[in-house]
C-alpha cells in the first residue's frame, strides 16, 4: 500500500478546521518569537501541527497494531527503529530530551501528582485532551527521528484482542518492556467494559460510550470527568478513564512478590507507565474511543465551550528541549493534529470478542470477593437514572482492579462496572465510584426493593498473592434526574 493510502491531502486536513499553525502551537516561551524545533540526528526542520512542511501537511492514518505489523511492515519497522533510537539516547544520557525516558517523564510530571494538584490531568476533564496532545507530540517525535512523516502511532484494540499483542512481546524489539508482571489470562469482559447480551440488543461495544455528557459532578456519571479545579475538590475518573483505561493499565503492568520483594510493573504506576511502549497502543485506543463517542453530535455538543476549558494549554518538550504548548481547543480536531483513525467501529469490523466460559472460570479462580452487601433499590421515574455510589474507598499502595456486580438479593448477578487504582508513586489513594445501574436494576424482577452488591478484586499477577486491603464507606443506590 502506498504512502498516499495512509495520508490525506492538505485539503482534507483543512476541511476539519486545518492544522494549528506554528505560531499557535510551537512557542519558546512568553515574549519570545516562535521557532522551529530541529532534531540533530536528521537536521530536518519540523513544525508541530503542520506535518512535513507548510506546503503539504499530512494526515496520517493510525492503525490497529496487528494490521500495521502485517499490512504495513515497512512503517512498523521504522516505528520500532525510532523508538529504539530514543531508548539508546536515554541509555547514553537519561536527560537527553530526544530520549525515550525524557518523553516518558512528561507523563510522570502530569499524572503522578496528587489529584487536587493543578498539574494533575487524571480524574478530571483534562484526562482525554491531555493524553491526545501527548500522543500527538510523541507521534511527531517518532516521525522526525524516523525521517518519515507518514508513520502513525498504532493502537491496541482490546475489545477484539484480549491478550497483549505479540508485537509488544518480542524481546528482540524496542517495543518490549521487561517490567510486565500481569496475569497470563485474557482481559475479561468487565475490564474492557463489554456486555455481550446488552450489545446483542443494540447496546454499545464499550459501556463507557453510553455516557450522555462529557463533564459531570459528584452526582452524575460523565464521559470525560469533573471540572478541574472545582469547589468540592472531588475528583474521579469519567466512564472511559474508569473502564477500560485503568484496568488495562493494571492488567499489563501487574505486580509481583510481597513485602520487600514486591514489584510493580511499569504500566501499573503513573510514575513509569509511559516507559512501556504498550502505553501508547493502549492510549491510542482510549483516544479512538473518545473519537467514536464524539462522532455523535448529541455527545459532542456536551463538551465544554468555556474558555477555562478550551483555551487551557498543556506544555510539552520537543526533541531539542524547546517547549511546545498545545491547547484543549486544538485537540478537538484530530486532523488538525495530523492524524485520523482507520476505523471508528469499536470492533474494527471484526466479530465482537467475548470471554469464553473456560476463560471466565480461570479468571474468577484468581479473583477475590472483597465485599458483599445488600442495598435498597429506590423507586425511580422514567426520567431518572439509578446511580450506585460507592464512597470513601481507601486503596492500598499497590495496583488494584475491582469489578462490581449487582443482582437479586443473595445472588452475585451481573458485572455493572468497576474501578481501579493505578499507582501514583507510592501514595495510597482515597476515591469514590459512580456507576449507572439503571439497566441492571431494570432487569431485576418487578417490585424488587433490595439488591446485592458484590465487589471482586481481579488477579493482577501470575503468582498467588494475598488480596488487597481495601476499605469501603457508604454503598447505596440513588435516583437522579437524567
Q: With a cut of 70, which residues of the chain have pLDDT below it?
A: 1-57, 217-219, 232-235, 353-365, 383, 425-430
Backbone phi, psi, residue 202, to 5°: 100, 15
C-alpha 387/C-alpha 92 separation (Å) is 52
C-alpha 246/C-alpha 421 separation (Å) is 7
Asked if residue 75 and residue 32 are part of one domain, the reply reads: yes
Q: Which helix (H) or strand (E) holds 432?
A: strand 429-436
Q: How far is CA 424 from CA 78, 272, 273, in A?
A: 32, 9, 10
C-alpha 354/C-alpha 344 separation (Å) is 20
Is 349 part of any domain? no
pLDDT digits (tens, 9 = 90+) for 449-475: 999 999 999 999 998 899 999 999 999
Q: Which pLDDT belongs to residue 13?
A: 32
Cell output for 337: 493534529
Is 470 part of any domain? yes
Cell output for 264: 510493580
Q: Which pLDDT belongs to residue 353?
A: 65
Asked if residue 314 and residue 391 are part of one domain, the reply reads: no
Asked if residue 400 and residue 442 are part of one domain, the reply reads: yes
CATH number, domain containing residue 282: 1.10.1280.10
Q: Which pLDDT belongs to residue 218?
A: 62
Q: Which pLDDT belongs to residue 236?
A: 74
C-alpha 81/C-alpha 86 separation (Å) is 9
Asked if residue 331 and residue 394 are part of one domain, the reply reads: no
C-alpha 186/C-alpha 195 separation (Å) is 16
Asked if residue 297 and residue 421 are part of one domain, the reply reads: no
Q: Pick from 341, 372, 388: which residue ends a domain?
A: 341
Grid cell 500481569 in the structure block, residue: 182
Is 347 part of any domain? no
Grid cell 481495601 in the structure block, residue: 470
Cell output for 444: 431485576
Is 389 part of any domain? yes
Is 351 part of any domain? no
Q: Pick from 341, 371, 390: which residue ends a domain?
A: 341
Grid cell 530514543 in the structure block, residue: 86
Asked if residue 309 and residue 399 are part of one domain, the reply reads: no
Before 244, cis peptide (omega within 30)? yes
Contact 11, 19 (CB under 8 A): no
Asked if residue 460 and residue 394 are part of one domain, the reply reads: yes
Please state the length of the chain.
482
Number of domains in the chain: 2
Q: Which pLDDT belongs to residue 107?
A: 97
Grid cell 452487601 in the structure block, residue: 373
CATH number, domain containing residue 439: 2.60.310
Asked if residue 128 and residue 264 are part of one domain, the reply reads: yes
Asked if residue 337 and residue 375 are part of one domain, the reply reads: no
Asked if residue 270 and residue 400 are part of one domain, the reply reads: no
Backbone phi, psi, residue 138, to 5°: -60, -40
Before 229, cis peptide (omega within 30)? yes
Is 300 part of any domain? yes
pLDDT digits (tens, 9 = 90+) for 226-261: 888 777 666 678 899 999 999 999 999 999 998 889
382: domain range? 357-481
Asked if residue 153 and residue 89 are part of one domain, the reply reads: yes
Alpha helices in 112-195 (DSSP H): 127-146, 189-192
Is 348 part of any domain? no
Q: Give the end-to-end CA distance of the chain in Å, rounded to a whole number.
A: 48
Grid cell 465482537 in the structure block, residue: 352
Q: Name the 3-class secondary structure at 368.
A: strand
C-alpha 60/C-alpha 151 separation (Å) is 7
Asked if residue 274 and residue 217 are part of one domain, the reply reads: yes
Is 463 part of any domain? yes
Contact 399, 253 (CB under 8 A): yes
Q: Pick from 341, 374, 396: which residue ends a domain?
A: 341
Alpha helices in 312-465 (DSSP H): 328-331, 357-365, 438-442
Nearest partner of 280 among 52, 416, 100, judged by Cα: 100
Q: Which pLDDT belongs to residue 365?
A: 64
Amino acid at each position: 500500500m502506498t504512502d498516499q493510502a495512509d495520508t490525506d491531502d492538505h485539503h482534507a486536513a483543512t476541511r476539519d478546521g486545518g492544522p494549528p499553525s506554528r505560531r499557535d502551537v510551537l512557542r519558546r516561551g512568553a515574549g519570545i518569537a516562535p521557532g522551529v524545533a530541529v532534531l540533530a540526528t536528521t537536521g530536518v526542520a519540523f513544525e508541530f501541527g503542520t506535518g512535513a512542511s507548510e506546503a503539504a501537511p499530512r494526515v496520517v492514518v493510525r492503525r490497529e497494531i496487528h494490521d500495521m505489523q502485517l499490512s504495513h511492515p515497512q512503517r512498523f519497522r521504522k516505528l520500532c527503529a525510532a523508538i529504539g533510537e530514543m531508548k539508546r539516547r536515554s541509555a547514553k544520557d537519561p536527560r537527553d530530551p530526544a530520549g525515550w525516558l525524557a518523553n516518558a517523564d512528561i507523563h510522570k510530571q502530569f499524572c503522578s501528582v496528587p489529584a487536587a494538584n493543578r498539574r494533575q490531568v487524571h480524574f478530571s476533564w483534562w484526562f482525554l485532551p491531555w493524553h491526545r496532545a501527548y500522543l500527538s507530540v510523541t507521534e511527531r517525535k517518532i516521525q522526525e527521528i524516523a525521517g518519515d512523516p507518514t508513520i502513525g502511532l498504532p493502537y491496541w484494540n482490546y475489545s477484539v484482542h484480549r491478550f497483549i499483542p505479540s508485537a509488544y512481546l518480542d524481546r528482540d524489539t524496542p517495543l518490549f518492556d521487561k517490567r510486565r508482571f500481569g496475569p497470563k489470562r485474557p482481559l475479561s469482559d468487565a475490564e474492557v467494559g463489554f456486555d455481550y447480551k446488552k450489545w446483542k440488543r443494540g447496546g454499545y461495544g464499550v459501556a463507557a460510550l453510553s455516557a450522555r455528557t462529557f463533564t459531570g459532578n459528584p452526582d452524575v456519571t460523565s464521559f470525560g470527568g469533573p471540572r478541574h479545579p472545582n469547589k468540592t475538590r472531588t475528583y474521579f475518573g469519567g466512564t472511559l478513564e474508569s473502564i477500560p483505561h485503568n484496568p488495562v493499565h493494571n492488567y499489563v503492568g501487574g505486580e509481583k512478590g510481597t513485602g520487600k520483594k514486591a514489584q510493580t510493573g511499569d504500566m501499573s504506576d503513573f510514575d513509569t507507565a509511559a516507559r512501556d511502549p504498550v502505553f501508547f497502543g493502549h492510549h491510542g485506543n482510549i483516544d479512538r474511543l473518545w473519537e467514536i463517542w464524539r462522532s455523535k453530535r448529541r455527545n459532542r455538543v456536551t463538551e465544554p465551550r468555556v474558555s477555562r476549558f478550551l483555551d487551557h494549554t498543556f506544555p510539552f518538550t520537543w526533541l531539542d528541549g524547546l517547549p511546545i504548548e498545545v491547547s484543549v481547543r486544538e485537540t478537538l480536531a484530530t486532523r488538525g493534529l495530523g492524524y485520523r483513525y482507520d476505523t471508528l467501529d469499536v470492533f474494527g469490523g471484526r466479530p465482537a470478542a467475548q470471554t469464553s466460559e473456560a476463560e471466565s472460570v480461570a479468571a474468577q479462580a484468581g479473583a477475590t470477593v472483597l465485599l458483599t452487601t445488600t442495598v435498597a433499590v429506590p423507586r425511580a421515574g422514567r426520567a431518572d437514572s439509578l446511580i450506585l455510589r460507592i464512597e470513601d474507598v481507601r486503596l492500598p499502595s499497590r495496583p488494584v482492579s475491582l469489578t462490581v456486580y449487582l443482582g437479586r438479593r443473595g445472588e452475585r448477578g451481573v458485572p455493572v462496572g468497576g474501578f481501579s487504582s493505578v499507582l501514583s508513586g507510592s501514595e495510597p489513594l482515597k476515591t469514590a465510584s459512580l456507576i449507572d445501574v439503571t439497566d441492571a436494576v431494570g432487569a431485576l424482577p418487578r417490585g424488587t426493593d433490595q439488591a446485592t452488591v458484590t465487589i471482586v478484586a481481579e488477579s493482577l499477577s501470575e503468582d498467588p498473592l494475598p488480596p488487597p486491603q481495601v476499605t469501603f464507606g457508604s454503598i447505596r443506590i440513588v435516583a437522579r434526574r437524567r
